[in-house]
Structure 1
Amino acid sequence: MKKTLIIMGGLTALAVTAATPVAAKHHAKDGAHSESNLRMIITNERRAEDSVRDKYRHPAETISFFGIEPNHTVVEYVPGGGWYSRILAPYVADKGKFIGLTFAPDPLPFGDEAKERIRNFPTKFPNDVAEWTGMPATKFAAYTTDKVPEEVNGTADFVVIPRMMHNLMRWNLADSEIKVMRNMLKDGGMVGIIQHRAKDGTPFSYADGNKGYLRTDTVVKFMEAHGFELVNQAEINANPKDTADYPKGVWTLPPRYAEGDVEKAKYTAIGESDRMTLLFKKRRDHLLSHG
């Protein structure tokens, strides 16, 4: 039986019993098995090229913090080159389901060719995941946000949004896209956000998404306004070396190196961006009417 992930931030349940219940023992075994399986996927040779970025992206720690389990239905928003897909897809393929989700193409500030590639995403992406993982394409699904089938709504346990909130903000797509993701989630379903982080107090003129950075309070307030509550946050993907104030934005840092060879050694030493890691829970609909 598949389960919906619900994590109550800061709440720990303690049970005083003479012996550990059988169900708790099984849960502990399942958790250990899940962690072992996750580690195997992350260290698989299929990820040889991806793994050089693990020291900046901390996939095992991030997925464990989010609480994603193998029996969850997980939606990855804008998978791009599939860095997270190559971990999440095989992790949930047998007991859960992996869904790729990308932008509705028409509102994007892109040319016709790029929009056509996005329209082809639902057909192409499952085959890409099959090639990456060695699993059948039929195990995976993919949609653009304007073409999500009605029967998919309310079925997802988890949505992962890696380093994409800044684009939603700067392209004025955030409201419409997050509403689609919210509809796909079950009540109590979770959203995990990893996002380039501006320093607290950074002027909005810099931290509006156009430089790749957002302030944490901007993201939290936006999600709260769209029917989510923040239940936890972590410093797993923090990088205190990142000053987050570059004229060419986050793309100054690796892997993009927007300044080319200018001070490249300096930016290499900094590494990839400082990132917030936030966990949100979908509030029940009846609470929204009072919010």
Structure 2
Amino acid sequence: MLTKILGLSLFLLASQTSFAATTDASTSISQALQHEARTDANKKRDIARKPEQTLAFFEVTPEKTVVEVWPGSGWYTEILAPLLAEKGKLYAAHYSDKFTLLPADYMQKGRTEFNNKLASHPIYKNVTVTDFAPLADIAIAPASSVDVVLSLRNQLYMFEGETSLKHALANFYKALKPGGVLGVVAPRLPEHLLNTEWKKTGYVPEQLWLTLAKEAGFSFEDRDDMLLNPKDTADHPSGIWSLPPTLAGTDEEKAKHRAIGEVNQMVLKFRKPQE
């Protein structure tokens, strides 16, 4: 009887500790969401992007070392930088000139805008900018130094075929510590469109991520439906760029696509096994 009571007590203590850790992390993310460095325009997209739930799902906490892959203009950097500023570390693996499928001036413009953001507020002083191109042998961070790699809404891996995604996954795997998390948010291609010319649309089959991540050595751990949008049929004239916030097309098409909302996204969590 005493053994059962002690076992129950230990279980309850562990549960309370886990709950407290989760609550503390959530509170820290909530605080980062309200940081003064965030723009009002970016805050308005929190409803569609659900950053608090997304980062919590990927186990991002203030003491973690994190790589943000292709941060673009820094939408998530505005959240990650204040979250990790005191106890953690943020690497921003931005465009590399070794990625040849985007115009050089476009990538340079993107990096310049990102660098200007980093210079705009002291909260970004500890962000380390590195390079990333799917097929290039460039370290996004020191090997086995990272707790979480985040690939958030990046759709360009497939522009160079499956080989580019394989190389990208190998790069992520190398950067992660044993037990580290790869968090993927990506436009999800419906299964009935697998036989179409989908590679230039920005949508990617979920099964492709699952298969290639497993081949790279990752264990698939979990998925979440928080960013699914059933209104998104994934058959738009300009692919994912038809939908907000890009809204490519005529005024009539923009009105139609604005009513659909943001892209249907899969949220997948992978883990590098413990050695």
Does 2:32 correspond to 1:33?
Answer: no
Q: Do the aligned residues in 2 keep the contact of 1:72 with 1:97 (CA within 8 Å)? A: yes
Structure 2 letter corresponding to 1:77: V
Q: CA RMSD in A?
A: 2.7
Partner of 1:279: 269
Unaligned stretches of 5+ residues in structure 2: 1-6
Displacement of 1:227 in angstroms is: 1.4
Question: Structure 1 residues 37 and 207, CA, compared in 2 at 3 Å: closer, same or farther?
Answer: same
Q: Which of 123, 128, 135 is the equivalent residue of 2:123?
A: 135
Q: Do the aligned residues in 2 keep the contact of 1:103 with 1:177 (CA within 8 Å)? A: no
Q: Which of 97, 105, 108 is the equivalent residue of 1:105?
A: 97
Displacement of 1:57 in angstroms is: 0.5
What per-residue deviation string (whole Å, max 9, x for no partner) do you get for residues 206-263 of structure 1?
332x101112112211211211121000001111111111132111111112113023
Does 2:212 correspond to 1:222?
Answer: yes
Does 2:46 correspond to 1:57?
Answer: no
Question: Structure 1 residues 114 and 269, CA, compared in 2 at 3 Å: closer, same or farther?
Answer: closer
Report % sequence identity.
28
Displacement of 1:30 in angstroms is: 4.1
Higher relative contact order (CA 8 A, sep 6+): 1
TM-score normalized by the length of structure 1: 0.80
Partner of 1:161: 151
Unaligned stretches of 5+ residues in structure 1: 1-14, 286-291
Moved more, 66-75 or 260-269: 260-269
Q: Return the alpha-carbon distance in structure 2 between the equivalents of residues 39 and 116 of structure 1.
A: 32
Q: How many residues are treated as equivalent by the alignment? A: 262
Does 2:142 correspond to 1:171?
Answer: no
Q: Return the alpha-carbon distance in structure 1 between the equivalents of residues 248 and 124 of structure 2.
A: 38
Does 2:242 correspond to 1:252?
Answer: yes
Displacement of 1:193 in angstroms is: 0.5
Partner of 1:185: 176
Moved more, 72-81 or 248-257: 248-257
Q: Do the aligned residues in 2 keep the contact of 1:92 with 1:98 (CA within 8 Å)? A: yes
TM-score normalized by the length of structure 2: 0.84
Q: Return the alpha-carbon distance in structure 2 between the equivalents of residues 258 and 267 of structure 1.
A: 9
Displacement of 1:127 in angstroms is: 6.3
